[in-house]
Amino acid sequence: MTIVVTGGAGFIGSNFVLEWLAAGAGPVVNLDKLTYAGNLANLASVSGDPRHHFVRGDIADAALVGRLLAKHRPRAVVHFAAESHVDRSIHAPDAFIQTNVVGTFRLLEAVRGHWQSLDGAGREAFRFLHVSTDEVYGSLSETDPPFSETTAYAPNSPYSASKAASDHLVRAYHHTYGLPVLTTNCSNNYGPFQFPEKLVPLMIANALEAKPLPVYGDGRQVRDWLYVGDHCEAIRLVLEKGRPGEVYNVGGNAEKPNLDVVHALCDSLDALRPREGGHRGLIARVADRPGHDRRYAIDAGKMRSELGWSPRESFESGLARTVRWYLDNADWVAQVRSGEYRNWIEKNYGKRA
Ligand code: NAD
Ligand code: TYD
């Protein structure tokens, strides 16, 4: 009953692995390249668990992936591994094409070989679950209805274009070869173990050091915030009950303008870790992101009606849990903010007046 998880040392992948093992759901082979975003400290609590088998490697390494699949004979592959940060894709898109497009293609090829080697029942039961993003649908106006599974693709950043390409490959492997794939497109996640380059953990980490809180442009861009634990539960459900070839949109039912998110974080920190003058005083408007998408929003009606899923956390409860986690895990934050992280902060924020 083994599953292979790719990218299981990153933010969502590590939350998924920890919850999967906590639920007693069976062995996990965790394949991760350990880029700047991968962190074995996220998995420290399962380092002695014989059901967790970590392998450092690249999803684009066809020989390695082929060996892993032949050895462990998994019943499913859950594919999280990706380059995931829009701003990095603007500065240096190459790695996004290599991992998200070429890597997903090589992984699909290896998985196809494995799936074709299974007996009838094994082939029937096998699943390849591809974790993708709502950003493939492009940008909404204030009055547009939320993205549904049939919204046309219109990716705007190198990141979202590379994820869109990977979604198309996954779809094609179902249509052409019959590979039993499932695709989830989710909204912005937040929660424990998120690398502090994304909005929520960056603002918490900066606020705790009394550094400026850099809000891009007018701060009125809207995202639909999804607590990572709710997302992991949705993935488990899609894996067990989703229909092969189908796409499922997963959202937090929590649309918020960025400035409201930053205000909520400041207020939460004011209550838990007061500072003179309050945290809102640290907010600094900075130059906008090029090509910045205005609004994302998910219609998760299919997840609700077909699989009975809806998010358990409200934005307020999820954010409170998240802020507490970052306050309680100052060592984790300090560790990930050393080294390469400093270069990134200088590169992305140094020239944003
Ligand atoms: P992350 O950047 O935190 O983690 C990515 C992980 O993949 C890291 O552990 C990294 O080492 C690993 N990785 C990168 N390249 C690899 C390669 N070539 N081979 C093997 N491992 C590699 O990302 P995340 O936020 O956890 O996102 C996980 C998935 O969810 C991604 O596919 C992302 O596109 C998608 N997603 C994320 C969000 C979000 O808000 N974080 C929203 C929608 C979709
Ligand atoms: P981010 O967490 O990078 O996710 P995504 O771009 O995938 O939605 O950013 C979320 C929103 O916050 C997005 O509209 C950009 C904005 N943002 C800032 O205003 N300042 C920042 O320093 C960062 C990282 C993001």
CB of 202 closer than 6 angstroms to any ligand 2 atom: yes
CB 260 within 8 A of CB 268: no
CB of 162 closer than 6 angstroms to any ligand 2 atom: no
Q: Digits of tens for pLDDT over the chain (353 positions)?
A: 999 999 999 999 999 999 999 999 999 999 999 999 999 999 999 999 999 999 999 999 999 999 999 999 999 999 999 999 999 999 999 999 999 999 999 999 999 999 999 999 999 999 999 999 999 999 999 999 999 999 999 999 999 999 999 999 999 999 999 999 999 999 999 999 999 999 999 999 999 999 999 999 999 999 999 999 999 999 999 999 999 999 999 999 999 999 999 999 999 999 999 999 999 999 999 999 999 999 999 999 999 999 999 999 999 999 999 999 999 999 999 999 988 899 999 999 998 86
Looking at the CA of residue 223, tell me the nearest atom of ligand 2. 8
Tell me the CA–centroid distance for residue 96 and ligand 2, in Å.
18
Nearest CA to 348 out of 39, 84, 139, 92 is that of 92
Tell me the CA–centroid distance for residue 345 and ligand 2, in Å.
14
CB 219 within 8 A of CB 257: yes
Alpha-carbon separation of residue 198 from 188, 254, 258, 331 (angstroms): 10, 17, 12, 19
CB of 199 closer than 6 angstroms to any ligand 2 atom: yes
Pair of tokens at residue 102: 């070429």
Looking at the CA of residue 99, tell me the nearest atom of ligand 1. 18
Tell me the CA–centroid distance for residue 86 and ligand 2, in Å.
8
Q: Say which ligand is closest to the CA of 199.
A: 2
CB of 11 closer than 6 angstroms to any ligand 1 atom: yes
CB of 189 closer than 6 angstroms to any ligand 1 atom: yes
pTM of the predicted model over 0.95? yes
Domain edges within the chain? 3-187+227-253+293-312
Helix (H) or strand (E) holding 241: helix 228-241
Ligand 1 mutation target, pool 35, 64, 84, most atoms within 8 A of CB? 84
Active site residues: 134-135, 159
Tell me the CA–centroid distance for residue 198 and ligand 2, in Å.
6
CATH topology of domain 3-187+227-253+293-312: Rossmann fold (3.40.50)
Looking at the CA of residue 159, tell me the nearest atom of ligand 2. 7
Looking at the CA of residue 7, tell me the nearest atom of ligand 1. 7
Q: Say which ligand is closest to the CA of 186.
A: 1
Q: Is 315 exposed, middle or buried (0-12, 13-18, 19+ CB in 10 A)?
A: buried
List the residue whose alpha carbon is closest to atom 19 of ligand 1.
Answer: 58
CA–CA separation, 164 vs 159, rounded Å? 9
CB 135 within 8 A of CB 160: yes
CB of 283 closer than 6 angstroms to any ligand 1 atom: no
- Helix segments in 62-209, DSSP class H: 62-72, 86-91, 94-96, 104-117, 120-125, 158-177, 199-208
Which pLDDT belongs to residue 338? 84
CB of 136 closer than 6 angstroms to any ligand 2 atom: no
CB of 188 closer than 6 angstroms to any ligand 2 atom: yes
CB of 216 closer than 6 angstroms to any ligand 2 atom: yes
End-to-end CA distance of the chain: 53
